[in-house]
């Protein structure tokens, strides 16, 4: 049997009751090199194939006393490991032990000061009088049997409670949000000092265990195929596969005609020559551009590119014949932990759990088994892993690039000549951003070609050419974003270079809309 990451590393299990912050608990613990994994609160403990070192019950939008509110599997208390309830999680502990939870007189949302009353409590070492973040309407109005109060706040007489002999703790505040200034120390105290979890979750250790895991999963002869895009996730996943099984991994780059300037050649050089990945590049640009002829609707463009990709990938993959004469058995996918979280987070008592597929269509048709070596990792962990695997720094820190590529950055009809204009303008823009040392300060930057013409004058001649819009945003999560405040000289230089060096452009504008109301991409 192939071992899971959670059986190799000491793992804290986070049971998610649907709080918007649940994944942050996992995130914070990993910052202390403690591996943590989130599962929905409906998880049956008997169905876990590994034993956690400790369990955290998250917050949630429900009230424990409501009909239909989610409740934890009581078997969690028989595991004999420490438990920490956060907000709803603490209310759940109290509800199970005497039902002393009810609606409070007032909601408490925002900062409060933690007042530690039990100075000996291992949970609160080093955090007394720090600011903590509250977000609740329900309250404990009594102490559950066997528990004592270990902390209070102005509004919460039961801000922290503990059942010391069973190592069960409850806190009303949210230690996982950064507004709780020392909240991560509370989580670390719980995981390290109370659960005794080893702090060995490092990407150095992960590489070794993951390579072993891939070898076990794939076996001694089977072969694996995967699409690469030139982005960090697919490159890291491919390099890891190559380290594990060498040439039995086949990477496929489909040139869809809407990649960045010289992208196929650059990817070939970096992945094949630089990283030793067994890569095949397929030029399918005519096929994609033919299908895009006359199409101006952004959703249609996306669909055409997605479907054509599946078609081309399947056809080209069928041409790759494993050495043993059998069929390829596995499909590599660069799924990351946020996608996994999205598919398993608890969205309501009646929710059915969806699985996440980037390329679901491929799996159904090709009867391939899925292999996802990055599914336990957050993006910054993938980047760190990439650096360790020797992937060039520029590639590791590359801005995200959409699957439909430049097709959604050429507004209106996508033709070879239009793609060429957008590509060249984008190349100049990114080059200048890098020269100015701004690339890593910006989350995403690109040039768009607008389907309008505008009058200009060049060398005493009237021109009537198109318009390039430049976009650059700063964001931490891509859910909201702000435009980047370039200085005027920078914009002047880029505009001048684009109009001078790219035929077909008469004017350059800078997009100063945030998200919302706009989106990052224009289409």
Active-site residues, by number, are 87, 174, 176
Angle separating helix axes 337-344 and 22-31, nearest 10 degrees: 150
User: DSSP secondary-structure letter at 410?
Assistant: B
Quick one: how many helices (H) and strands (E) in the chain? Answer: 15, 19
Query: Between residues 176 and 465, which has the closer beta carbon with respect to ligand GLN?
Result: 176
Q: Does 137 interact with ligand GLN (rule: CB under 6 A)?
A: yes
- Helix/strand/coil for 323: coil
Of 59-67, 211-219, 299-307, 400-408, the segment contacting ligand GLN by CB under 6 A is 59-67
Query: Between residues 138 and 316, which has the closer beta carbon with respect to ligand GLN?
Result: 138
Q: 510 burial class (0-12, 13-18, 19+ CB within 10 angstroms)?
A: middle
Q: Does 110 interact with ligand GLN (rule: CB under 6 A)?
A: no
- Binding footprint of ligand GLN, residue count (CB under 6 A): 12
Of 54-62, 176-184, 213-221, 312-320, the segment contacting ligand GLN by CB under 6 A is 54-62
Place of tokens 């076990």: 216
Residue nearest ligand GLN, Cβ-based: 59
The answer to whether 229 is annotated as binding is yes
Q: Is beta strand 160-163 parallel, antiparallel or unpaired with respect to 168-171?
A: antiparallel
Residues in the chain, overall count: 523
Q: What is the largest CA-CA distance in the chain?
A: 89
Q: Does 87 interact with ligand GLN (rule: CB under 6 A)?
A: yes
User: Which pair of structure tokens corresponds to residue 212?
Assistant: 């072993």
Of 57-65, 208-216, 235-243, 508-516, the segment contacting ligand GLN by CB under 6 A is 57-65
Q: Which of 59, 257, 334, 404 binds ligand GLN (CB under 6 A)?
A: 59
Of 45-53, 133-141, 343-351, 409-417, the segment contacting ligand GLN by CB under 6 A is 133-141
Shortest distance (Å) from residue 136 CB to ligand GLN: 3
| Cβ partners under 8 Å of residue 103, min gap 6 | 63, 137, 138, 139
- In 248-375, DSSP assigns E strands to 249-255, 279-283, 330-332, 369-371
Q: 224 burial class (0-12, 13-18, 19+ CB within 10 angstroms)?
A: buried
Q: Does 136 interact with ligand GLN (rule: CB under 6 A)?
A: yes
Query: Between residues 47 and 67, which has the closer beta carbon with respect to ligand GLN?
Result: 67
Query: Between residues 59 and 373, which has the closer beta carbon with respect to ligand GLN?
Result: 59
Shortest distance (Å) from residue 95 CB to ligand GLN: 11
Per CB under 6 A, residues contacting ligand GLN are 19, 59-63, 87-88, 135-138
- Residues making up the binding site: 229-235
């Amino acid at each position: 049997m192939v071992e899971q990451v959670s059986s190799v590393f000491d793992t804290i299990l986070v049971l998610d009751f649907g709080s918007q912050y649940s994944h942050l608990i996992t995130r914070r613990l990993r910052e202390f090199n403690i591996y943590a994994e989130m599962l929905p609160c409906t998880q049956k403990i008997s169905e876990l194939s590994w034993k956690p070192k400790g369990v955290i019950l998250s917050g949630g939008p429900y009230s424990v006393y409501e009909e239909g509110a989610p409740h934890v599997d009581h078997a969690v208390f028989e595991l004999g490991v420490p438990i920490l309830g956060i907000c709803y999680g603490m209310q759940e502990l109290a509800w199970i032990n005497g039902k002393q939870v009810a609606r409070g007189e007032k909601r408490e949302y925002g900062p409060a000061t933690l007042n530690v009353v039990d100075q000996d409590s291992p949970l609160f070492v080093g955090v007394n009088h720090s600011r903590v973040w509250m977000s609740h309407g329900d309250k404990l109005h009594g102490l559950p049997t066997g528990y004592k109060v270990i902390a209070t706040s102005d509004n919460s007489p039961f801000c922290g409670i503990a059942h010391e002999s069973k190592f069960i703790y409850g806190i009303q505040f949210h230690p996982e949000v950064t507004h709780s200034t020392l909240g991560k120390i509370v989580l670390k105290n719980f995981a390290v000092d109370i659960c005794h979890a080893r702090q060995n979750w490092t990407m150095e250790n992960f590489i070794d265990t993951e390579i072993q895991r891939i070898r076990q999963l794939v076996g001694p002869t089977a072969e694996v195929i995967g699409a690469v895009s030139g982005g960090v996730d697919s490159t890291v996943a491919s390099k890891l596969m190559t380290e594990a099984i060498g040439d039995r991994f086949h990477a496929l780059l489909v040139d869809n005609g809407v990649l960045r300037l010289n992208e196929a050649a650059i990817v070939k050089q970096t992945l094949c020559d630089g990283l030793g990945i067994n890569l095949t590049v397929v030029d399918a640009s005519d096929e994609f551009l033919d299908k895009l002829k006359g199409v101006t609707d952004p959703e249609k463009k996306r669909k055409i590119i997605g479907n054509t990709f599946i078609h081309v990938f399947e056809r080209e993959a069928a041409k790759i014949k494993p050495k043993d004469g059998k069929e390829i058995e596995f499909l590599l996918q660069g799924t990351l932990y946020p996608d996994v979280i999205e598919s398993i987070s608890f969205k309501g008592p009646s929710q059915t759990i969806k699985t996440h597929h980037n390329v679901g269509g491929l799996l159904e048709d090709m009867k391939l088994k899925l292999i996802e070596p990055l599914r336990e990792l957050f993006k910054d962990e993938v980047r760190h892993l990439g650096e360790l695997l020797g992937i060039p720094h520029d590639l590791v820190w590359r801005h995200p690039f959409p699957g439909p590529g430049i097709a959604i950055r050429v507004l209106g009809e996508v033709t070879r000549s239009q793609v060429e204009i957008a590509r060249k303008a984008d190349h100049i823009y990114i080059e200048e951003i890098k020269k100015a040392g701004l690339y890593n300060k910006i989350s995403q930057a690109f040039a768009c070609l607008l389907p309008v013409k505008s009058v200009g004058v060049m060398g005493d001649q009237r021109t009537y050419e198109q318009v390039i819009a430049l976009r650059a945003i700063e964001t931490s999560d891509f859910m909201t974003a702000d435009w980047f405040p370039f200085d005027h000289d920078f914009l002047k230089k880029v505009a001048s270079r684009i109009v001078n060096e790219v035929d077909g452009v008469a004017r350059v504008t800078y997009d100063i809309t945030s998200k919302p109301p706009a989106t990052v991409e224009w289409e």
